[in-house]
Structure 1
Amino acid sequence: MSNPSKTPVLDALTKVLQGSVLQRGSEEYETENGSYFSAFENEVKPSYIVKPSNVDQVQSLIQSLRPYLLSGDCQVAIRGSGHTPFAGSANIQDGVTIDMRGLRGIHLSQDESVVEIGVGETWTAVYGELEKHGLTVAGARTGRIGVAGFVLGGGLSMFSARTGFSCDSVIEFEVVLASGELVRANAEENSDLWISLKGGLNNFGIVTSFKMNTFKSADIWGGVTIYMSDNMAETFSQLIHNACDFVHGDPDQNVHAMFSIGTFFGHQAVTCVMYDTQGKENPPSLQRFTGMENQVKEASTMRTSTHRGFVDELSKYSDDGKRQYWTSITIRPDVHLMEAFHKKWQEMLPKIQDAQGLTFTLGFHPLSKSLLENSEKAGGNAMAIPASDGPLFVVLINPRWDLSEDDKRMFATVEDFVAGLKQLANEKGLLHRYIFTNYAHQTDDTIAGYGEESLLKLKETSEKYDPEGVFQKGVPGGFKLPVKEA
């Protein structure tokens, strides 16, 4: 990692922000740098943190830093809410972290069909503002996370069966390019950039705001149901049989569900989170889950509420500052394969069960055929998954623990576990190329998982809008396109 020369880089930053540059040792620096979702990002120490409050400042920062980014004398990280958990995704050791949380604003169009969202917002704020107008958007299922990284990674919503990935609801991005130029990308103007940003992450510029289609909000019925028994393998098997039936049936596009088994401080539980986004209580397609045995009735949160009410509920299931490992693979639905995953998970747990504060979730998130069909209809995205590939399950592997002394064995154990899952799926011909970026680990080759044709288009877009590769060479965090050889 390059160490920015203090005088020229600091001078450049100070000139743009009138002296408001956070440096190591200051109370505000320590507060801001310790506010990431994961401990691993908190432990990265940039030389400087800058907090632009408007688009002009973002443009000036890029223009001022550009010579140092091209020379290799400085590298930067772009931070939204800072929810991606691996170190260096949105923070940078000895570099400059540009904290975008000051770029806020939620503005409805005159006819209320479109909302423009500043990248410093969270989904709770977006839903809360839109609810005042009887509207919502297909954003995140957890309210506390930021809008920008979620959308640029693709994003899944409780409305996804009807709307596609969350990024498919974006009709326009406002982007600062490597030159400092501000452009808009939509279906008519810079359409290649528009498609590439939908899943293409921070490879092309700095997004400062985006516009999404709105739709009428309604009461939603759903919540969290937990199942526990003396035979968790049997309970999980029942859930997975039902989950595979659910996705193969390509159910009502107004319903959404996700499934998991987890261990929480020594206790295991199977969980189903499910919603009917039109507010129909216990609809037929969800009765296979609501009718399952071994429900922990006192833990059930099934009810009628609002979009914001449900995403705020899921926000309570995570905390900032934990040691987090998120990684993901994608498979074709198959009961026997998923039962084999569960068996391997149970065999792995004793190796790490004594880690202080351990929780470990193995989750399954459906990509239905209707989701992929509606994604295609929305104009295309970087992931480029044909509807004919569906249905699929995104598999989330997510352990959390307390102590740094457990890091080495946690990483080694999880890496071995994931390799075993990939091998099982590959042997059965059920492993899909796609890796869901929002759940991916830094070692995952997510961009390659978009397929060769999409990768070629993304490279062409990068070369067109950032011909010198500033956002590959100078902004190393996240999942990057291959650096163009000199």
Structure 2
Amino acid sequence: MAAVIPKSLPPQVESLRSSGVTSKVLVPNDPDYAGRQSSFWSVSAQQLSPAAIVLPDNANEVASIVKSLVAAGQPFAARSGGHTNWAGSNNIDGGVTIDLSQIRHVRVSEDKQTADIGPGGKWREVYAELDKHGLAVAGGREGNVGVAGLILGGGNTFFTARRGFACDNVVEYQVVLASGEIVTASKHSNEDLFCALKGGSNNFGIVTNFKMAAIPCSKVWGGMSFLPKATIPAAIDALVDFVPNVASDDGSNLVCIFTHMPDFKDVVVATFYANVDAVESPPIYKKWLEIPRIMDMIKMTSIKEMAFEYNIPAGHHVLWFTLCFKNDATIVTKAVDLHEILVEQLKTVDPEGGFTTQCLFQPLPKLFGQRGAEAGGNVMGIENQSSDGLLWLATAMMKTAEHEAQARPLVEKWVQDVKDFAASNVEEGVLPWTYLNYADPTQAVLASYGAGNVQKIRDAAAKYDPEGVFQKLCPGGFKISDVKS
């Protein structure tokens, strides 16, 4: 890309000009600036206004930008797909946002064993390219999610039961450090950084390439179904029954969502199935397929098609919280009952009912952590999980910032009440892991990984970023420096 540097830059980014950075730079009066700002999935994340947005084309340009900003002491943010929902996670007020959206390559190796994937692409683009080769990778299940954020936060995928999380499928990372040095991290090189990047997020540098294991996969059976409210007890039973059976069918996936949506007058159950072996109606779904449905979109399809078809619409002010529980029907029932109370409360905030909520459960069997350990280990600590569990996402998506502010304490109370119930009524009902990609910024994500893993992240950050640039100048995300010793 040719240099497009405005004649007059704000003082916050004069360092880019003076150091000869040739990447495209957008400032607030540039029409393309507004387009990049509005491209964040959550309106909540659009609220911050960087002094400039810089769009590098490759790792060398990223290195030049980072070196320049660090030398000038200028704060910055790094953004890939822009899907993290909260303000400050991937954008910055008055600083420089390094927008990686131009680094979106997908290159399959000659032997079709690996794929090099740029951080700034979205998973629908990745799968579209890999599908040409009859391949997939263990990546995001929603097509509009960005590559880097999903992987660096761990990444739950269609293949977690078989191959571990997305991060467990990375063979090699290319990383730009705070010094501007470009390094690789793998099981053969910078092994401590390689491990720490598997769930350690943006505490070390900016990843400019993910070399991932390629997976033969041309067809998938699955899709979405919507079930009426009256089927909630049957859905809870089918959900809890599904989890232990993942061990005997590690190609099958489930997402179960108790949800209020503007298109439905009442709470409904939305389900998402995916069997990556292209087995139609495998036995693990027997209970689910016996439940009456309002709408059914299950078919033989592909990961590429799923990534294009199933995405949460953009344009909302979004609240996300997450917890993990023992696989227990009483906990799910409590969460669902309290969700219905939340929906009624939110109707007083938005009487038109233009909001969406999700009380979303996914299997979290012990197998997931075991697969990660078999792949070499990560820093998320899931291999220490004491029992089969459920990963819970609690969301409210509101139309205005005012509605979001009013909804926040209601959602927080819902989450806390479910957590208290699980802790008080079920032995080891609350599991320790907090999934970074679903978490609210108030949640203690990195601390949930366990003391040993916290130390691994802390040690890697100190070694590869000794000046603490990615703790101080790049404040977005979950920082190891915020974890109490």
Mapping of 1:170-249 within 5 angstroms? Answer: 170-229=170-229, 231=230, 235-249=231-245
Q: More deviation in 104-113 or 380-389?
A: 380-389
Question: Do 1:16 and 1:57's aligned partners in 2 also have CA atoms closer than 8 Å?
Answer: no
Query: Does residue 296 of structure 2 align to residue 300 of structure 1?
Result: yes
The equivalent of 2:33 in structure 1 is 29
Query: Does residue 380 of structure 2 align to residue 383 of structure 1?
Result: yes
How far residue 392 of structure 1 moved from its aligned partner, in angstroms, is 1.5
User: 2-side partners of 1:370 and 1:424: how far apart?
Assistant: 26
1:259-300 deviation line (CA, Å, top 9, x unaligned): 1100112421112211111111111111111111x311xx20
Residue 440 of structure 2 aligns to a residue in which SS?
Answer: coil
How far residue 12 of structure 1 moved from its aligned partner, in angstroms, is 2.7
Q: More deviation in 269-278 or 10-19?
A: 10-19
Mapping of 1:302-317 within 5 angstroms? Answer: 302-315=298-311
User: 1-side partners of 2:23 and 2:142: how far apart?
Assistant: 36
User: 2-side partners of 1:167 and 1:224: how far apart?
Assistant: 26
In structure 1, the gaps of 5 or more residues are none
How far residue 388 of structure 1 moved from its aligned partner, in angstroms, is 4.9
Query: Does residue 439 of structure 2 align to residue 435 of structure 1?
Result: no
Change beyond 3 A, Cα 1:483–1:396: closer
Question: Do 2:447 and 2:483's aligned partners in 1 also have CA atoms closer than 8 Å?
Answer: no
Letter aligned with residue 395 of structure 2: N
Change beyond 3 A, Cα 1:327–1:478: same
Change beyond 3 A, Cα 1:475–1:254: same
How far residue 348 of structure 1 moved from its aligned partner, in angstroms, is 2.3
Query: Does residue 70 of structure 2 align to residue 66 of structure 1?
Result: yes
1:451-475 deviation line (CA, Å, top 9, x unaligned): 1110011101111111111100111
Question: Do 1:253 and 1:370's aligned partners in 2 also have CA atoms closer than 8 Å?
Answer: no
Residue 379 of structure 1 aligns to a residue in which SS?
Answer: coil
User: 1-side partners of 2:23 and 2:180: how far apart?
Assistant: 21
1:95-147 deviation line (CA, Å, top 9, x unaligned): 11110111121111221101010112111111111111111111111112111
After TM superposition, the score normalised by the length of structure 2 is 0.93
User: 2-side partners of 1:13 and 1:155: how far apart?
Assistant: 36
Mapping of 1:65-84 within 5 angstroms? Answer: 65-69=69-73, 74-84=74-84
Runs (4+) off by over 4 Å:
none
The equivalent of 2:326 in structure 1 is 332
Letter aligned with residue 248 of structure 1: P
How far residue 333 of structure 1 moved from its aligned partner, in angstroms, is 0.7
Letter aligned with residue 468 of structure 1: E
In structure 2, the gaps of 5 or more residues are 1-8
The equivalent of 2:124 in structure 1 is 124
User: 1-side partners of 2:12 and 2:85: how far apart?
Assistant: 31
User: 1-side partners of 2:390 and 2:260: how far apart?
Assistant: 21
User: 2-side partners of 1:165 and 1:434: how far apart?
Assistant: 14
After TM superposition, the score normalised by the length of structure 1 is 0.93
User: 1-side partners of 2:198 and 2:400: how far apart?
Assistant: 36
Work out which of the residue numbers 316, 326, 338 in structure 2 matches 1:344: 338
How far residue 236 of structure 1 moved from its aligned partner, in angstroms, is 1.7
How far residue 349 of structure 1 moved from its aligned partner, in angstroms, is 2.1
Work out which of the residue numbers 38, 41, 45 in structure 2 matches 1:41: 45
How far residue 49 of structure 1 moved from its aligned partner, in angstroms, is 0.9
How far residue 192 of structure 1 moved from its aligned partner, in angstroms, is 0.8
The equivalent of 1:134 in structure 2 is 134
Residue 482 of structure 1 aligns to a residue in which SS?
Answer: helix
Change beyond 3 A, Cα 1:59–1:7: same
Letter aligned with residue 380 of structure 1: G
Change beyond 3 A, Cα 1:19–1:246: closer
Question: Do 1:101 and 1:120's aligned partners in 2 also have CA atoms closer than 8 Å?
Answer: yes
Residue 424 of structure 1 aligns to a residue in which SS?
Answer: helix
Q: Share of identical aligned residues, percent? A: 32
Residue 222 of structure 1 aligns to a residue in which SS?
Answer: strand
**RMSD of the TM alignment (CA)?**
1.7
The equivalent of 2:4 in structure 1 is none
How far residue 14 of structure 1 moved from its aligned partner, in angstroms, is 5.9
User: 2-side partners of 1:421 and 1:13: how far apart?
Assistant: 52
User: 1-side partners of 2:401 and 2:11: how far apart?
Assistant: 35
The equivalent of 1:407 in structure 2 is 404
Letter aligned with residue 204 of structure 1: F
Residue 197 of structure 2 aligns to a residue in which SS?
Answer: helix
Letter aligned with residue 300 of structure 2: T
Letter aligned with residue 275 of structure 2: D
Letter aligned with residue 175 of structure 2: V
User: 2-side partners of 1:159 and 1:390: how far apart?
Assistant: 20
Work out which of the residue numbers 361, 366, 369 in structure 2 matches 1:372: 369
